[in-house]
Structure 1
Amino acid sequence: MNRITTRLKRYGCLLLCLCLLMPLLQGTAAAVQDSSVVRVAWYPDSAYNITCENGERSGYGYEYQQSVAAYTGWTYHYIEANWPDSLNMLQKGEIDLMAGVSYAEGRAQTMLFSDLPMGEEKYYLYANLATADISVSDLTTLNGKRIGMLSESIPTTQFCEWEARHGLHTEHVTITSSEDAAAKIASREIDGFISVESPQWQEYSLSAITSFGSSDIYFVISKSRPDLKEALDNAMRCITHDKPFYQDDLYQRYLSAQSVEILSTEERDWLRQHGAIRIGFLNHDTGISTFDIQTGDVAGVLTEYVVYATNCLGDNALHFDLHGFDTQLEQLQALQNDEIDLIFHTSQNPSAAEENGLALSNTVLSFSQAALTTKNHFNELEPNTAAIPGNDFSLKQYLSYNYPKWTILEYPSANDAIKAMRTGSADCYVTRAGQLPRYMKDKKLYRVFLTQPSKTSFAVRQGDTVLLSILNKTLKTIPSSLLTGALAMYDSAPEKVTVAYFVKDNLTTASAVFILLSLLLFGLFRKARQSAKQA
């Protein structure tokens, strides 16, 4: 009886212990189950955390966080607050993860930084050059100007150091946010302010005067969630390995700004003394520049650039004078003889530019190239032979720069180059991808898009630095898709179909129509002769 009683007591104690431990076990299981849920700071920002009108999220920080989640399996719970409150909540353990934080020794004491930076932010001094008496080329004009800045921020610290190095003295005015800075600029309370590079300032007609510093930005983790750090670091290493230029793409999409460009005093003097900028172009460069003999007009991307660039630099209107040439060699000779100021356009090949005494501008536009070939297997990494027209200087530059293993065969004309490709004398004929539709019906040809895009630039004489600066400023103001989109539009425009082209393209139908017409005319002719005899 005593043994039974003792066993009952033991089983009772065990059961009681299990009942007491059950809530704890359930809590532990719930904690394990919820460990993949990460509380993320969502502070309003025009670059890192963007909320569209329809509620859709985007931004530098948001996209990077989604890439991290693809490797970690995390699910995010967004907590909305402004920047200072978000940082404070992370330090208190109310938020687990925050993006876009610069490193500082004081911060490192209260939060965990990712091993790798998630990018770099650049700091600029912004001002409205139309109203503020500030010159981009003369920094001493900043002396005495009222500059807005956040108190106790990393950009403010770097600006003060930059100011001291250059011997400048400005009046520092405290601002509380980007909106406060824009309002103070509008009310003339400040002449300029310092900020992270951002495309939002273009909307306020503000220009970047100068860059005075930069710093790496990181993900930061609350010290209450150290379990997240290893997974985060591993994910960022994988992203860096799998997508080496991922940060550059995000920077260009969300941080790179198109500022309002203003001509310097030297550039305005050059234009005043020089007059219209003389542009050399090809008369028969389809999609780029085509000269109409009957009307005397030029159509193509060239005209789109001239229309936009004329008034893109504020009150300083540009004037252009167009000169057409039949070959690129004629263009080059005219440039060297000072008959024109620039060539529109040439391939970006620094070595060829140096050999010909040219200086290249920033990218004007880029487009895809394609190889036409009779081979059912074409590998661009192999040492192929490419047939090209001998007068296509830009195409030769493109191939020699991007495909140095290829052998370039030059022919008198495009038709001769295509014939060489068809007969097997060359492996391929290279043309702009937009020109492919004219070859679509030829079943004997294969069309292969090349992986290296063709990037083109303006070419000026080596040493024409002022003109090159003016051209680059026009290119900075032009939306990146404008000229590329215009090229696609001109390439897709319907071509005029001649009788010869129609007969060649519809040989069977044309032959049948010709035979029927011949028989009909022959019958009418016989009847006419018979009628004449009877008469």
Structure 2
Amino acid sequence: MKSKTKRLFLLLLSVIFVFNFNSIKGTAGKSVTKTVRVGYYQNEVFQEGASDKAVKSGYAYEYYRKLSEYTGWNYEYIYGDFVTVYNMLLNGDVDLVAGLAYTESRSHLISYPDKPQGTEQYSIVKHQGDDTITTNPTTLKGKSIGVLDSAIKVALENFLKEKNIAANVVTFSDYDALLEAFDKREVDTLAGESDGIYDRSHAETLYPFGETDYFICTSKDRPDLLKELNEAQSQLFLEYPDYISVLRNKYYPESLASRAFTSSEKEWLTSHESVAVGYLNNYLPYSDTTKDGKVTGLIKELVPYLFKQLGYETVAIEYVGFDTYDELVKAMDDEEIELAFPVGGGLFFSEEDGMFISKPVISTLTDLIYSTNYYDNSKQIFAVNESNKLQYYYIANHFPDATIEYYPSIDACLKAVLKGEATYTTLNGLRTASMLKKPDYEKLSFRQLGYADDMCFGVKIGNEGLLKLIDRGLSRAGTEYVNNLGSVYSDDMYKYTFKDVLRENFIGAFIVFLIILAILILLLLYSVRINRKRIREKEDAKREIEAVNQEKFVFLNKMNNYMREPINNIVSLIRISENMNDLTNIKNNLAKMGSFSKELTTILNNILNISSFESGQVKIDDSLSLYNFFGKRVLIVEDTLPNQTITSDIMKKAGMEVQIANDGLDAYEKVKAAPSGYFDAVLINVDDRNIQGYLFIKKIRDMENDIRSEVPVIAITADESESGKEKIIKSGMNGFITKPYDVKAILDKLSGIIL
């Protein structure tokens, strides 16, 4: 009997286990979600977007979303003003409401979790400029105080009762109505959370009158949600102990109290109608002085903008430029200026200089400059500009063991690295690109360092009011505005000059050049006349030869137009230079003549090429007819019409279809827009920087998973050096052809690549 009972008991346990196991198995693979009704009211910054179509944001909204990561809750938002939403929570029409302060009476009506959502201070706020209300609470007597119908009202009434103040308390059901009444001055003051009145520049905090924690509360009908809320908050604060601080700093970086001017700020503003600003010369994009003695750089626009943000646009700005950092610091010490920019070096070096520094105006990463010819990682010899201690401060802070060699300018520092006198120098990140574009520094390389370099304002120690005003202005201006200014003035940093200046014998050489050019033009004209005679003798080929002749006339006229302008310019410069005594201006004119002569040389080479090709001196050998170029399509990338004409003439006579692009970017767009295999080859001039041939090949080869990235690219170059050829091949191009053109060599090269 006992054995039978035991068997029945074991069978029953087995059935229960199988049932429970199947239930667990059936739900284990599913993500369980629960719909939770959230009472959502509008409160600027804390909880915004209180309608179905509005974008939601704010402190409470982000907190809700974070909790759902732990609970899996799916929210249904139900909207109303604060009083309406609170009553919904009491009636069980919503499950959660955020931002509720704890009161004994409420604790019997709604459920509070173990941990608060945040802490809030209650403050009395008046209209800025209303001197009838002061920090003395008795001045509230007879005044109207606007307050939300919430726990704040209870705290306010207790405060007024404690201070024995008879004031008119006006309650509102939501924040929008309260703030609107305050903005319209329908109430004399308001009592609220400092962070709840975020955007009130015309308001001034007087004093706090209470402080309380606030919570996300649940309906009494939902103990299950309270349990899940407590578990989620415990896990959240375990994983992110400072989550509340981070969230508060994100949404309330500046309290209302901090937006009211302090006594030191007010004192400075009332005692100053102008401010003297000292700045560093030769330090664009930050600051510099133009040739006519005017300030330039972001400092020019930033200081007036900061005072505009403070509402004091009438403060006159006086700028004074200094060539060295030491002169700037001394002027500050001698009280010749009140504000210095840019300064830095951190707390220690700024103290050494007798300055307070502001919050960073702009932070950029610094670039380490070195030459691959002299790179030696075992040595740390830094070339430092003795005129700008910001560079020294940076190196001293981050490379304390480095050896420092001083040079009179940043250009001298860069040249020291080029010569191997120093291993490194540094450049501010906003200056690197413009500095290294100069031809003298083509062999320099750089890498970005991991330490930010802060550019700050400086004031003399003790000038607390101005420092706080500048920090306040920077907070309101924001980093995006300053970064945009930096980009604008980076473009104005350096102007290019010619490296080589032609000497006095250039004039004689140029005259010889003109004579040779004239002879060549006469030879070309003679060639045209010979071709005309041949046309008359060959009636059977009359139409074809006339068409060719017409093309030559068009080309010649274009060459004449192209040559006329540089020749006229050169003649004018010669005449001007004959009457000059200023060597600098003569050198500048010679440099300009050099530019025009190079242009004429290019035209001359084009004339020689087209003349040789058309006159029959260069012929396509009969053996080349074995190459079947018909149906092949080539893209020619040249920036001048003569170059385009010559190259396309050769390709067309070889049976190819030709398309033209003016530069590398134009060519890239044509290849990108064309179907795969549309172009059989690309011929691109890599000598002319305007064409950007190497940029083109990089963009083409970087087209991932695209057969168009494999299109054959052949460089056109006049550089026959081994280094030049090596550069072309390493760039990803398939080959090169050199000028002046050898037609057979060109077609041989093409046949080997595309046939």
CA contact (8 A) 2:71 2:228 kept: no
Task: Indicate the residue corresponding to 1:223 in structure 2.
Answer: 223
Given the superposition, is the C-alpha separation of residues 499 and 158 from structure 1 closer, same or farther in structure 2, using an over 3 Å criterion? same
Q: CA separation in 1, counterparts of 2:477 and 2:265?
A: 19
Q: What secondary structure does 1:227 align onto?
A: helix
Cα deviation per residue 1:433-471 (whole Å; 9 max; x = unaligned)? 222323479886665444443334322222223333444
- 3-state DSSP of counterpart to 1:50: coil
Aligned to 2:647: none
Please give the secondary structure, in 2, of the residue aligned with 1:499.
Answer: coil
Matching residue of 2:608: none
Q: Deviations over 1:413-434 (max 9, x none)?
A: 3234435556777675433322
2:346 corresponds, among 346, 349, 352, to: 349
Q: Structure 2 CA distance, aligned partners of 1:38 and 1:489?
A: 51
Partner in structure 2 of residue 371 of structure 1: 368
Could you list the per-position Cα deviations for residues 122-145 of structure 1 after superposition, in whole angstroms to 9, with x for gaps in the alignment?
A: 444333214x22688x65795434
- Cα distance in 1 for partners of 2:161, 2:452 equals 42
Which residue pairs with 1:455 in the alignment?
A: 454
Provide the rounded CA distance (Å) in 1 between the counterparts of 2:132 and 2:140. Answer: 9
Change (3 A) 1:189 1:200: closer
Which of the residues 176, 180, 201 maps onto 2:177?
180
User: Is residue 344–residue 357 contact of structure 2 (8 Å, CA) maintained in 1?
Assistant: no
Q: Distance in 1 between matches of 2:98 and 2:88?
A: 14
* 2:157 matches 1:192: no
What is the CA–CA distance in structure 2 between the aligned matches of 1:94 and 1:104, rounded to whole Å?
21
Match 2:285 to one of 279, 283, 287: 287
State the AA in 1 paired with 2:41: Y
Question: How far is 1:333 from its partner?
Answer: 0.8
CA distance in 1 between counterparts of 2:317 and 2:166 reads 40
Alignment deviations for residues 97-124 of structure 1 (CA, whole Å, 9 cap, x no partner): 4444445566566424254x55444444
Distance 1:310 1:333 in 2: 25
Gap change, CA 1:444 and 1:498, over 3 Å in 2 = closer
Match in the other structure for 1:111: 111
Q: Secondary structure at the match of 1:47?
A: coil
Report the Cα offset of residue 89 of structure 1: 4.5
Cα distance in 2 for residues equivalent to 1:418 and 1:371: 11
Question: Which amino acid in 1 is paired with 2:189?
Answer: G
Match of residue 513 from structure 1: none
Whether the 8 Å CA contact 2:381–2:404 is kept in 1: the answer is yes
Confirm or deny: 8 A CA contact 2:380 2:402 kept in the other structure.
yes
Matched, 1:319 2:320: no
Q: Does 1:411 align with 2:406?
A: yes
Q: TM-score, normalising length from structure 1?
A: 0.72
The verdict on how the C-alpha distance between 1:460 and 1:392 changes in structure 2, with shifts beyond 3 A counting, is same
Contact residue 364 and residue 456 of structure 1 kept, 8 A: yes
Q: Distance in 2 between matches of 1:518 and 1:139?
A: 92
Match of 1:58, SS state, is coil
| Corresponding residue for residue 466 of structure 1 | 465
Alignment pair present for 1:339 and 2:336: yes
Residue number in structure 2 paired with 1:533: none
The AA in structure 2 aligned to 1:339 is E
Residue 346 of structure 1: how far off its partner (Å): 1.6
Q: Which residue identity lines up with residue 175 of structure 2 in the other structure?
A: S
Aligned residues with identical type, % of pairs: 23
Q: What is the letter of the counterpart of residue 181 of structure 2? A: K
The structural deviation recorded for 1:522 is 5.0
What are the equivalent positions in structure 2 for 1:23-102 lying under 5 Å apart? 34-51=32-49, 55-70=54-69, 72-90=71-89, 94-102=93-101
Of the three residues 369, 388, 393, the one matched with 2:389 is 393
Matched residues in 2 for 1:287 and 1:201: separation? 34
What SS class does the counterpart of residue 188 from structure 1 fall into? Answer: coil
Shift of 1:323: 1.1
1:333 to 1:91, Cα distance in 2 relative to 1, 3 A: same
Give 1:278's aligned residue: 276
1:145-200 C-alpha deviation (Å, 9 max, x unpaired)? 43322355258627965997xx7957252321322323332443322212223486
Would you say the 8 A contact 1:372–1:430 is kept in 2?
A: yes
Contact 1:199 1:254 (8 Å CA) reproduced:
no
How far apart are residue 343 of structure 1 and its match? 1.2
Distance 1:435 1:269, change over 3 A: closer
Secondary structure (helix, strand or coil) at the match of 2:75 reads: strand
Root-mean-square deviation (CA), in Å?
Answer: 4.9
In structure 1, runs of 5+ residues without a counterpart are 1-13, 505-509, 511-516, 530-535
How far does the alpha carbon of each residue in 1:284-341 deviate from its partner, in whole angstroms, 9 at most, with x for none?
Answer: 22022221122x3212221222332444444683222211111110011111112112
The structure with the largest helix share of the pair is 2
- Please give the per-residue CA displacement for 1:195-228, whole angstroms capped at 9, x wherever unaligned: 2234865367334445566555444455332134
* Bigger radius of gyration among the two: 2
Q: Once the 2 structures are TM-superposed, how far is the Cα of residue 278 of structure 1 from its aligned partner?
A: 1.3
- The aligned runs of 1:484-499 (5 Å cut-off) are 484-491=483-490, 493=491, 497-499=495-497
Give the 3-state SS of the residue equivalent to 2:315 in structure 1. Answer: coil
Closer, same or farther in 2 for the Cα pair 1:396/1:193, shift >3 Å?
Answer: farther
Aligned length: 485
Distance 2:326 2:514 in 1: 58
Report the alpha carbon displacement of residue 282 of structure 1 after superposing the two structures with TM: 1.1
* TM-score using structure 2 length: 0.53
> Are the counterparts in 2 of residues 147 and 193 from structure 1 also a CA contact under 8 Å?
yes
2:384, 2:405 within 8 Å by CA — same for their partners in 1? Answer: yes
Task: Tell whether the 8 Å contact from 1:342 to 1:459 is kept in structure 2 after alignment.
Answer: yes
**Structure 1's 371 and 74: CA in aligned 2 closer, same or farther, altered over 3 A?**
farther
Residue type at the aligned position of 1:279: V
* Structure 2 gap ranges (5+): 1-11, 520-755
Q: Which has the higher contact order (CA 8 A, sep 6+)?
A: 1
- The answer to which of 197-206 and 63-72 deviates more is 197-206
Q: Does the 8 A contact of 1:124 with 1:210 survive in 2?
A: yes
In 2, Cα distance between equivalents of 1:135 and 1:488: 47
Q: 1:437 to 1:528 in 2, by over 3 A?
A: closer
Among candidates 151, 154, 161, match of residue 153 of structure 1: 151
- Distance in 2 separating the partners of 1:155 and 1:448: 60
CA pair 494-270 structure 1, distance change in 2 beyond 3 A: closer
Corresponding residue number in structure 1 for 2:482: 483
